[in-house]
Structures are given as structure tokens and as C-alpha cells.
Amino acid sequence: MSDQIKFIVDNLNKEPFRKNYNLITFDSLEPMQLLQVLSDVLAEIDPKQVVDIREEMPEQTAKRMLSLLGILKYRPPGNATDMSNFRQGLVIGSKPVIYPVLHWLLQRTNELKKRAYLARFLIKLEVPSEFLQDETVADTNKQYEDLMEAFKTLHKECEQLKTSGFSTAEIRRDISAMEEEKDQLIKRVERLKKRVETVQNHQRMLKIARQLRVEKEREEFLAQQKQEQKNQLFHAVQRLQRIQNQLKSMRHAAADAKPESLMKRLEEEIKFNSYMVTEKFPKELENKKKELHFLQKVVSEPAMGHSDLLELESKINEINTQISQLIEKKMMRNEPIEGKLSLYRQQASIISRKKEAKAEELQEAKEKLANLEREVSVKTNQTREFDGTEVLKGDERCAF
């Protein structure tokens, strides 16, 4: 412990802290003062942690420090019980809790600064799956993930450039070489000017050369504009095709738009949507909640050893044996009413599973139909680009 305190005091007396402690004054700090020292060290790692803890509630102080220590991947010694003691000790400013944290932070300050900086951009915000059903939320989340990947790539390239080994001497040599090359080019230009001055009408020829360069630049600009207009035309044709397909489907729907058929389709769609909202989605949501609760329970449990696993296996085998005995007793009774009820339950379960399967098949068929319509639109646009005309379908040719 004395070596640990000496290391902490030595580092706190250096830049950028400059605390001017000795072993006695540091060890005699009050809990509030010790917490402020820890907060100052955390603020050096993450500037957002600059706080006067006298103006902050103890619960907020503990929550803020625990959050940053979790991001920095600090692991307190011990199990779940010790973790509870660690939180309590952090709230009250206990020396046995804070000294190891300070020692760990001061050992790797530069590394932790980098980790805290990256955490601001790389800790992903988890969006619930039900919100991702919204198109706008899904697109925004996709852009967020793309930006995160772009940040990873750029940060990696930046680190590679920092460690690539370029020195000032090499840069100066490159600058000297480029200056020499520049002088050679200037001399070459001067020689060419002298050679050109001996040619008749050289001023007129230079003027024509300048005009040629300007026209070439204008030609490149016009070619770029032409390509942009082609892209705009392609997108406009695609949009027109989609609108034409929608109009065609609406006309087709209006051709046999009898009140009875419309009511029937609406009733079927309402039944399908009602089933999805009242039965399928709530079941899936309940299953997800159960799975999340189970995973949270597993995460909160302490790490299990081999002996714990053996004990659990023996308990599972014992419970399975009891279940088998209960099933045998129930079969021995062979009550007819219970048998009929089980038969009805089984039939109801089969019907429910068939209903869910048909609903999923219907959903997949709708998605497949939408994909096929998009493919038809793309193929039609490609054909139009090849020969400038749209290929007519069989029923459209017969109409002519």
C-alpha cells in the first residue's frame, strides 16, 4: 500500500496536476477532498468530467464516475458483493476503494485519454427494434452506423500516419528536391520561350494555344454537365416508370372495383392487420421481453465455476426425473375429460401454428411481389436505354 501511495503522490505532483502533496498530507485528506482528487484525474482523461463535487449530489458524483470507469474498462477486484461495496465506498470516499482506482488511472493516463475520446464516437446507441420499423428512424440509424464506420477508418488512417515514421529531416529533403525540380522547370520554360521567340507570329500562335486550352477546359466542363443531365434523366425515367406502374395498378384495381369486391378486400386486409397487431406482434414482443429478462438475469449473476455447473446439472437431472414421474402418474390416471381437453388444446395449437405460418407466407409474398415490381422497373429502364423504346408486354401488344 505504501508503494501505491508513493506512486500516486509522485504522479499527482507532476504536470498537469501539480498538487504538491507528500505522503502525510495526501493520506490525511478528507473523503470529500479525496473524491475531488479522483474527479480531477478523471477530468484530465475526459474534459467533460471537470466538476466541483461540492456543487454535485453524491449520487450524481458516483454515477458519473462509475459511468466513465465502465467506459475505461476498469474492473474492481472481487465478485458481485465486492462490486456493491465498491459503489458504496466510491460514494463515501473510502481510501481502500479510491487508492487502487487512482493508481490504475495514473499508470495509463495517455492510453485512457485515447479510449475516452474514442468512446464518444464508438459507443453505439441501441435503438429498439419496434422503432426501427419506421422508415425515417431506420434510415437515420443506417446513416449513424455508416458514419461510425467512416470514423473508424479515418481514425485508423490518422494513427497510421502518426506512426509512419516521417521525420522533419525527410520532409526537408523532399522540399529541397522539389525546389531543385522547380528551378529546373523554370529554366526549361525560359529556354522554350527563347526558342519560340524566333518563330514568326509566335504571339498569335501563343494566343491560339491559350484559346485551345480554354476550349478544352470548357469541353470537359460540358461533358461533366452532360453526364449529370444523363443521370438526372435516368432518375426521372425511373420515377416516371414507378408512377406509371402505380397508375396501371390503380386502373386495374378500378376496372373491377365493385363495392362487394372492394369491401371483401378491405375486410381481408383488416383481418390480416388485426391478427398481426393483436396476436402475432404481441407474442413476439412478449417473447423478446422474456428473453431480455433472462439475459439480464444471466448477466447480473456472478461468474460460475466448474463445481457450480455440476451442481446445476444435478438439479436439472433431478427435476427432469420428477417431471417424468408426474407424467407417468398422469398417464396412469387416464382421465377421459382431461384427455379430450388435451386433444382440443392440441388441435387449437395446430390451428394457431398454421395461422401464423400462413401470415408469414402472406408477408413474404407481399415482399416478393414488391421486389419483382422493382426488378421489372429496372429491366424496363435498361431496355429503353438500349433501343430508346419501351418493350411492350404481351397483353399490351394484343391491345394494338
- Give the separation between CA 276 and CA 158, rounded to whole angstroms: 50
Report the alpha-carbon distance of residue 197 to residue 205 in Å, rounded: 11
pLDDT at position 224 is 92
Cβ proximity of 73 and 45 under 8 Å: no
Considering just the CA atoms, what is the radius of gyration of the chain in Å?
Answer: 38
Cβ neighbours, 10 Å, residue 102: 22
**Do 71 and 111 form a contact (C-beta atoms < 8 A)?**
no
pLDDT at 263: 81
* pLDDT score at 197: 75
Q: What's the N-to-C CA distance of the chain in angstroms? A: 96
User: Residue 285 contacts by C-beta under 8 Å, 6 or more apart in sequence?
Assistant: 130
Q: Are 72 and 45 a contacting pair, CB within 8 Å?
A: yes
In the chain, the amino acid numbered 261 is: S
CA distances from 266 to 69, 235, 262, 269 (A): 57, 34, 6, 5
Alpha-carbon distance of 102 to 90, in angstroms, equals 12
Second-level CATH architecture of 2-122: Orthogonal Bundle (1.10)
Residue 304 phi, psi dihedral angles, 5° rounding: -100, 140
pLDDT of residue 398: 40
Distance CA 162, CA 253 (A): 64
Helix crossing, 31-45 with 58-71: angle to 10°? Answer: 40
> What pLDDT does 389 receive?
46
Letter for the amino acid at 123? I
CA distances (Å), origin 17, targets 8, 9, 115: 11, 10, 20
pTM over 0.95: no
- Spell 42-55 as b/e; 16+ CB within 10 A means b: bebbbeebebebee
One-letter-per-residue 3-state SS of the chain: CHHHHHHHHHHHCCCCCCCCCCHHHHHCCCHHHHHHHHHHHHHHHCHHHCCCHHHCCHHHHHHHHHHHHHHCCCCCCCCHHHHHHHHHHHHHCCHHHHHHHHHHHHHCHHHHHHHHHHHHHHCCCCCCCCHHHCHHHHHHHHHHHHHHHHHHHHHHHHHHHHCCCCCHHHHHHHHHHHHHHHHHHHHHHHHHHHHHHCCCCHHHHHHHHHHHHHHHHHHHHHHHHHHHHHHHHHHHHHHHHHHHHHHHHHHHHHHCCCHHHHHHHHHHHHHHHHHHHHHHHHHHHHHHHHHHHHHHHHHHCCCCCHHHHHHHHHHHHHHHHHHHHHHHHHHHHCCHHHHHHHHHHHHHHHHHHHHHHHHHHHHHHHHHHHHHHHHHHHHHHHHHHHHCCCCCCHHHHHHC
- pLDDT tens track, the chain, 400 positions: 678 888 888 888 888 888 888 888 888 888 888 888 888 888 888 888 888 888 888 888 888 888 888 888 888 876 655 677 888 888 888 888 888 888 888 888 888 888 888 888 887 777 788 787 888 888 888 888 888 888 888 888 887 777 766 567 777 888 989 999 999 999 998 888 888 777 777 778 888 888 999 999 999 999 999 999 999 999 899 889 888 888 887 777 666 667 777 788 788 888 888 888 888 888 888 889 988 888 887 777 776 667 777 888 888 888 988 888 887 777 666 555 555 566 677 777 778 777 777 777 887 887 888 778 777 777 776 666 655 444 444 444 444 3
Q: Please state the domain extents for the chain.
A: 2-122, 199-238
